[in-house]
Amino acid sequence: MKKSVLVGLSGGVDSAAVAKILLDQGYRVFGTYLALCPGADPERARLVAARLGIPFSVVDRRKAFEKKVIRPFVETYREGKTPNPCVECNRHVKIAYLLAEADRLGIPLVATGHYAEIKRTESGRMELYKGKDKNKDQSYFLWKLTQKQLSRILFPLGDREKKEIRLLGEPFVSEKEKESMEICFIPDGDAQGFVSANGGATEPGNFVDAQGNVLGRHKGISHYTIGQRRGLNIAMGQRVFVTALRPEKGEVVIGTEDELLITSLRVEQLHYVSALRRDIPKTGVTFKGRNRGAGEPCKLTFDRSGVTVKFDNPLRRFAPGQSACFYEGGCLLFGGVICEEEKLLFSEQKDMCKA
């Protein structure tokens, strides 16, 4: 008897290709559209399902998306941090509600168009790996998935290149695919503007340097993020950046590019997606604090509340609230959330200047 699988259909090329691949592999494929953002329209996905000849359903979870993704996103900005909404969405909304719909229909498996791979070890533990296409790999956004979720998910695109997927999926979509947005609920890409428009605006305050000297006035900390250079409107005689946010004082710290450099950082809220803590190797682990990039070699020191990460070479600072992922080769071992380490930032910067 053929296995059944529920595919999350967006109406785009990737999810259409997922359904086509699984049909060709002999699965009984069902499609569903998750309505998450305001103005969500299932018609493109419905057309894809009709062209593929598969059953189709619509699941409206816009209220849950507002509560579990959009509101925490706004509040995190208000706290002077920069969130990763896709991480929260994948675990608590997208995958969770696909699995709930699959349960309702009596379907054991779900599939999505993520570029990542899942492998089962001899012990039965599920491991999450980078996608084959380095330019499309999305494993970074999946680090919060649980073992129970991974055991029921298929990622058919993980071992394929985007160019192949485009050829497979385009015959079933109604229009040419546009590049996906960084954040689906912010079409114009203006995160700070979205936060302000949705009740996240903060009071104006002072721009200060590392020593606390006042340099000028800013619009509110929700308008800024670590590493930002544009839109500061402050003359310093050289290029300057946001190096830290102090929400308790309402201050935005300004400094030179050298003051952004760190040789260690702190990560907490750890989740061991592929490996248990006792199995994390002492060497050969790489760190990613952004989705793009190959990763940086690092040394890890664990304690009860998290891990301290040390680098051989200075890196530009990462915004607190962002996700940190740790890999061994292509396997995503565990992830966590980058913490505020302003004191560490400036003490290390001074040490590097002395060297």
Backbone angles phi, psi at 254, to 5 degrees: -115, 140
pLDDT digits (tens, 9 = 90+) for 78-128: 888 999 999 999 999 999 999 999 999 999 999 999 999 999 999 999 999
Which residue, 288, 240, 283, is CA-closest to 84?
Answer: 288
Strand partners, 336: 324
Phi-psi domain of 32 (left: phi exceeds 0; alpha: psi -120 through 50; beta: other): beta
Give pLDDT, residue 355. Answer: 44
Give pLDDT, residue 179. Answer: 56
Checking if the pLDDT of 180 tops 70, the result is no
Active site residue 184: yes
Percent of the chain surpassing pLDDT 70: 94
Checking if the pLDDT of 36 tops 60, the result is yes
Lowest mean pLDDT among 6-10, 115-119, 230-234: 230-234
**Alpha helices for the chain (secondary structure H):** 13-24, 43-52, 62-65, 71-78, 85-89, 95-105, 147-150, 162-169, 191-195, 342-354
Active site residue 86: no
Give pLDDT, residue 256. Answer: 92
Tell me which fold the domain 202-255 belongs to. SH3 type barrels. (2.30.30)
pLDDT bucket at 38, cuts 50 / 70 / 90: confident
Backbone angles phi, psi at 138, to 5 degrees: -120, 15
CATH classification for the domain delimited by 4-172, as one of 3.40.50.10490, 3.40.50.620, 3.30.70.20, 2.40.30.270: 3.40.50.620
pLDDT bucket at 351, cuts 50 / 70 / 90: very low
- How many of the other CB atoms lie within 10 Å of CB of 26? 9
Token representation of residue 285: 């682990």
Domain boundaries, the chain: 4-172, 202-255, 259-354
Mean pLDDT of the chain, nearest integer: 91
CB 110 within 8 A of CB 296: no
Q: Which residues does 54 contact at the CB level (< 8 Å), separation at least 6? A: 7, 19, 23, 29, 30, 31
Per-residue pLDDT, averaged over 238-265, amounts to 93
Checking if the pLDDT of 184 tops 60, the result is yes
pTM: 0.91
Token representation of residue 73: 């996103």
How far apart are the C-alpha atoms of 70 and 85, rounded to whole Å?
8
Backbone angles phi, psi at 98, to 5 degrees: -65, -45
Lowest mean pLDDT among 151-160, 225-234, 306-315: 225-234
Per-residue pLDDT, averaged over 309-336, amounts to 95
Which of the following is catalytic: 37, 86, 89, 353?
89
Checking if the pLDDT of 347 tops 50, the result is no
CB 133 within 8 A of CB 330: no
Give pLDDT, residue 341. Answer: 61
Q: Which residues does 199 contact at the CB level (< 8 Å), separation at least 6? A: 74
Q: How many CA atoms lie within 13 A of 286 on its CB side?
A: 14
Scan for tokens 């290029």, then name that residue.
Answer: 239
Q: Which residues does 74 contact at the CB level (< 8 Å), separation at least 6? A: 194, 195, 198, 199, 200
Give pLDDT, residue 80. Answer: 87
Give pLDDT, residue 255. Answer: 94
CB 85 within 8 A of CB 323: no
Scan for tokens 């970074």, then name that residue.
Answer: 140
Give pLDDT, residue 165. Answer: 96
Per-residue pLDDT, averaged over 256-267, amounts to 93
How many Å from the N-terminal Cα to the C-terminal Cα in the chain?
A: 68
No. of helices (H) and no. of strands (E), the chain: 10, 17
Give pLDDT, residue 196. Answer: 87
How far apart are the C-alpha atoms of 216 and 205, rounded to whole Å?
9
Per-residue pLDDT, averaged over 162-182, amounts to 81
Which of the following is catalytic: 37, 86, 184, 331?
184
Q: Which residues does 227 contact at the CB level (< 8 Å), separation at least 6? A: 241, 242, 260, 316, 317, 319
pLDDT digits (tens, 9 = 90+) for 55-76: 999 999 999 999 999 999 999 9
Q: Which residues does 145 contact at the CB level (< 8 Å), separation at least 6? A: 90, 91, 95, 128, 153, 273
Report, at the CATH architecture level, how domain 259-354 is classified. Beta Barrel (2.40)
CB 325 within 8 A of CB 143: yes
